[in-house]
Amino acid sequence: MVNKDQVAGMVKQVKGSVKKAAGKATGNRRIEAEGSADKIAGKLQKTYGDVKDRVRKAL
């Protein structure tokens, strides 16, 4: 079962990828950096959700 942190993390990763690509396409380094940061934050949130799910299943 997928929890809300896993879903939110995946959404942030996609949003970050799009933002990074948009920044790269327009030459806007700030937007590109924000996209990278969003992508990393999404990976962290998804990982947190994965761990939370494993702990729940173990109990």
2-48 pLDDT, tens per residue?
899 999 999 999 999 999 999 999 999 999 999 999 999 999 999 99
d(CA 54, CA 2): 11
Whether the predicted pLDDT of 1 surpasses 80: no
List the domain boundaries for the chain.
4-58
3-state DSSP percent of the chain in helix, strand and coil, to 5: 90, 0, 10
Sign of CA dihedral 31, 45, 4, 39: positive
Token pair belonging to 19: 């933002």
Phi, psi of 27 (to 5 degrees): 80, 15
Q: pTM for this one?
A: 0.87
Q: Which of 15, 54, 48, 53 is nearest to 31 (CA)?
A: 15
